[in-house]
Structure 1
Amino acid sequence: MLAYYLRLGLRSLRRNPMLTSLMVLAIGFGVAASMTTYAVFRAVSGNPIPDKSAQLYKPLIDNWGHANGRTSDDPPNAMDYTDAAALMKDGKGVMQTVSYPLGLSVIPADPKAKPFRVYGYATYADFFPMFGVPFKYGGAWPADDDARHAPVAVIGEKINQRLFGGANSVGRSIDIEGNRYRIAGVTRAWNPQPRFYDVNNTGGFAADPPEVWIPFTRAVDLQIPTWGNNNCNGRVAPGWDGWLHSECIWLSYWVELPDAAAAARYKNYLHAYAAQQQQAGRFDWAPNVRLYNVTQWLADQHVVPQESQVSLLVAMGFLVVCLVNTIGLLLAKFMRRAPEIGVRRALGASRGEVYRQFLAEAAMVGVAGGVLGLLLTAGGVLGIGMVFDPDIARLARVDVSLIALTLLVAVVATVLAAFYPTWRAARVQPAWQLKSN
């Protein structure tokens, strides 16, 4: 019977192409607007590390208080060197790492080749297993290399391709800023979005993945400055040591904890550490600490752009308006066929059969609107950069899941919109229609 209902629906849609076109256009534009904005919202609001987001935590310690008129009760969103070094030394987590961004020059072995700039991080060995960095060759350097301030490095496959033709370069050396580093591993392309581990410097989104990592301890020895934000509150003594021992915040600290109980214990540890600093005279305010897991940290930093949320709500409202118009068009179309319905009912068709016939017809409108919506969504995703920041717009893409969702939303929305017109059509009284016609 479904095939029969579909044939009846197709015949009915062909009888009035103008009305059919209006319904398909309404559904297509409404679905395209909502799916285009949803593609952006999905890209920026996803969980960048779902397997471990509940085990990775961002500790914060208030080392500024209310000095210089600061009114916020939240600790600064980064950490200074004094606190980061102390937490790393205590090592209270399963794993922990501190990092900061670097802008480095790589000098090729070929004297004819020009040096080139790369973006990377100074960090600890735990960085790689904590954040699930995938390796093509080798792996992270041993933890002992952190303690030895060893000249080792992990590089990305892009650099590996450029310098070594994509071959396994583990054990070979690379010249960075005039210093030789032994390559411990080569990563595959890795650029989680949002970039949760460095929200402070990227805002959560960065187009280019990092391509080199060196030990934090080595970078500090070489006095390599940060390529990211450096915020100071108060006077800073001159020189590198003066900066290290200042209250300037420029480091991103993360710790891995196995469960909520461990997180509670770690927060108590942070509170005790801050209290110790207060007793030592470094802080003249009560301990003020925070501990966020990945999703909490992204929410606290408002990583999802507000314009994407507003745009999604506006687009959903537009879809509702389109569906209301579709309801009106379906109602006009179905009620115009009241004589036909009356004859069918008089010949023995039940109300259920009328429901199935008209809902099948509405589903065909939904499929056509969904196909149009897919084409418009593809165009909308290509042009989304005119509305959103390019680093965010490039994350939106049309994939299999978005195609399936677009078609599903179009069909389901159209069928739901058809329920009231179908209900009205099914209540047509056969006797009245036969008498009047």
Structure 2
Amino acid sequence: MGNYYFKLAWLSFKKTPLLSLLMVGTISVGIAAAMITITVGYMMGKNPLPDKSERVAMVHLNSWDPSQPISYRKNGEPDIPNMLTYQDAMALLAADKADKHVPFVSFNTSVRAEADDVTSAQTHNIRSTSRHFFSVFGAPFIYGSTWSAEADQQGQSVIVLSKRENDRLFDGANSVGENIILGTQLYRVVGVIDDWQPTPKFYVNAFDMYTPTLPYFVPLESQIRNNFFSPTTMGWYCWGDDASSTLQEVMSSECVWIRFWVEFESEQSKQAYFQFMEDYTEEQRKVGRFLRPEPNRLMTVTEFLEEEGAVSEENKLGIVYALAFLFACLCNVMSLMMTKFHGKGGEVGLRRAVGATKQHIAVQFGCESILVGFLGGVIGLALAQLGLAALTDMYPEYHANVMTMNLTLMVSTVALAIGTSLLFGLWPIYRATRTQLSSQLKSL
């Protein structure tokens, strides 16, 4: 029976091609505009660690200057730094109270393969972190693996690089065991990670969440031992002496510059870690530090994304405008449907005369609405893909993942078109079924 009604819908579509195409085109334009903005908003704000986002947390210790005025978070709570001093980061690492620790900073230096000429060196941003970075944040390896615990502790000159840089430096071959020169230091490759772009890149601040993942990773202690220091890119905030001339001065100061994430296997270990943070704070207060009253925090991934405003107010407003535009398009489609269904009064009267009920007429027109919505959704999906491709070219600073529909969004695009077409077709269908039989037959 369903095939019969869709056959009638297709015949009706072909009988009034201009009106039908106008409805399809109106829906497709509205759906494309809506799904472009929804896609960008969804990809910017989706949970990048759905399996363990509540077990991974950023450490916030309130070591800031007690004389500075208090700033406040969006929820009204007093704000505290989301980075740690070198002294505090090393103390947390030494205590080893979490299941995994991920301190990290970044610095700039020149990079080249050992066999390449010095003129081929390129300046890159390097991530210095711990061996746990890759397992906590889900970076997949295609060659080798992360470095050892000894490399973390001793600051060994080892490096993990991205597939993109492995392709550039070693033509995509397995480069584990090869050497790379960072600045003037020789580093041995221990692993290569696959193309990996968490969206959003939740472990950094909002400014960097949608930029490409850094291509090189080294142990934090190796940065310290090799004295890599790039003041313009490392990013720190200081009070007191405001040290900024050398890495050693920053390390010995109250400057906060190390982000520190931890992972827990259970809620109990997470609570125990927070208590350890409280005890550590009390110890530091006894020696004249941590003098502000605001509490420490363990901020989960989802809380951090919300705090950093992963989806800006402008993006949210854009989604509202796009949905309003879609609503206007659907109102026009509803008007066109009423015109079309009214023009089919004679056909409806004839079908009613030979035994069709109002329910049969409603199903027939409902199938026609679904067909219009399906075709509009498919065309709208194609237009949305073109629009997202154009945005990718217009905003190269954002990673392409932000402008890419996943399968869920693609299916949702077509489903939204069908659902809204049928919803806005209910009133024209109702009006068509309420027309008196006598008047319908007179139109023949």
- So what's the TM-score if we normalise by structure 1? 0.91
Q: 1:234 aligns with which of 220, 237, 240?
A: 240
- What's 2:191 paired with? 185
Aligned counterpart for 2:217 among listed residues 213, 216, 226: 213
Kindly report which structure 2 residues correspond to 1:165-176, keeping only aligned pairs within 5 A, or say none: 165-176=171-182
1:288 is matched with 295
Counterpart selection for 1:83 from 67, 79, 88: 88
Please state if 1:40 is matched with 2:40: yes
Deviation at 1:95, TM superposition (A): 0.8
Q: Which moved more, 1:85-94 or 1:257-266?
A: 257-266
Displacement after TM superposition at 1:386 (Å): 8.1
Q: Tell me the CA shift for residue 44 of structure 1.
A: 1.1
State whether structure 2 residue 443 is matched by structure 1 residue 418: no
Which of 186, 195, 208 aligns to 1:203? It is 208
Deviation of 1:143 (Å):
0.5
Alignment of 1:100 onto 2:102? no
Q: How far has the Cα of 1:199 moved from its partner?
A: 2.2
Alpha-carbon distance in structure 2 between the residues aligned to 1:12 and 1:137:
59
Q: Displacement of 1:232 after TM fit?
A: 1.7
From the superposition, tell whether residues 287 and 369 of structure 1 become closer, same or farther in structure 2 (CA, over 3 Å).
closer
User: Where does 1:310-349 land on structure 2 (aligned, <5 Å)?
Assistant: 310-349=317-356
Q: Answer yes or no: is 1:251 the counterpart of 2:258.
A: yes
Q: CA deviation at 1:40?
A: 1.1
1:159 correspondence with 2:168 = no
SS at structure 1 position matched to 2:265:
coil
2:63 counterpart SS class: coil
Amino acid at match of 2:141: F
Distance in 2 of aligned mates of 1:357 and 1:21: 19
| Residue range with higher mean Cα deviation, 229-238 or 299-308 | 229-238
Task: Tell me the distance in 1 between the aligned counterparts of 2:16 and 2:342.
Answer: 14
Following superposition, the deviation at residue 31 of structure 1 comes to 0.6
Q: Quick one: which amino acid aligns to residue 404 of structure 2?
A: R
SS of aligned partner of 1:69: coil
Q: 1:233-289 CA deviation, whole Å, 9 max, x = no partner? A: 332356433311222221110101123332222222222222222222113222521
- Give, as a single letter, the amino acid of the residue that structure 2 aligns with 1:152: V
2:309 corresponds to: 302
Matched, 1:352 2:356: no
User: RMSD between aligned alpha carbons?
Assistant: 2.5
- TM-fit CA distance, 1:93: 0.4
Stretches of structure 2 that go unaligned for 5 or more consecutive residues are: 73-77
Is the CA contact (8 Å cut-off) linking 1:342 and 1:428 kept in structure 2? no
- CA shift, 1:58, in A, is 0.5
Call closer, same or farther: CA 1:320–1:147 in 2, change over 3 Å: same
Which one-letter code corresponds to 1:192 in the other structure? Answer: P
Residues 83 and 256, structure 2, Cα contact 8 Å, conserved in 1: yes
Distance 1:233 1:64 in 2: 8
Quote the sequence identity (%).
31
Does residue 378 of structure 1 match 2:382?
Answer: no
SS, match of residue 198 in structure 1 = coil
Letter in 2 for 1:282: R
CA contact (8 A) 1:345 1:430 kept: yes
Letter of the structure 1 residue corresponding to residue 37 of structure 2: T
Deviations 1:130-172 (A, max 9, x none): 2222112221111122222222222223333333333333233
Deviations 1:179-231 (A, max 9, x none): 2223222222223221112226x431213x32222211121122212533222
Alpha-carbon distance between aligned partners in 2 of 1:54 and 1:300, rounded to the nearest angstrom: 15
Deviates more, 1:180-189 or 1:65-74: 65-74
SS in structure 1 at match of 2:398: helix
AA in 1 matched with 2:215? E
Q: How many residues align?
A: 435
Call closer, same or farther: CA 1:15–1:50 in 2, change over 3 Å: same
Cα–Cα, structure 1 residues 372 and 97, in superposed 2: closer, same or farther, change >3 Å? Answer: closer
Structure 1 letter corresponding to 2:130: Y
Partners of 1:329 and 1:168 in 2: CA distance: 61
Cα displacement (A) at 1:34: 0.7
Determine if contact 2:176/2:191 at 8 Å carries over to the other structure: yes
* Structure 1 residues 381-424: Cα deviation after superposition (integer angstroms, max 9, x where no partner): 12325886741666212554443332222122111211121122
Alpha-carbon distance between aligned partners in 1 of 2:187 and 2:361, rounded to the nearest angstrom = 76
* Distance in 2 (alpha carbons) for counterparts of 1:166 and 1:331: 60
Instruction: Give me the whole-angstrom Cα distance separating, in 1, the residues matched to 2:326 and 2:104.
Output: 45
- CA drift of 1:374 comes to 2.5
Comparing 330-339 and 379-388, the one that deviates more: 379-388
Partner of 1:63: 63
- Distance in 2 (alpha carbons) for counterparts of 1:112 and 1:277: 50
Q: Which amino acid aligns with 2:266?
A: D
Secondary structure of residue in 1 paired with 2:104: strand
How far does residue 54 in structure 1 lie from its aligned partner after superposition? 2.2
Describe the shift of the 1:392–1:236 C-alpha distance in structure 2 as closer, same or farther (beyond 3 A). Answer: same
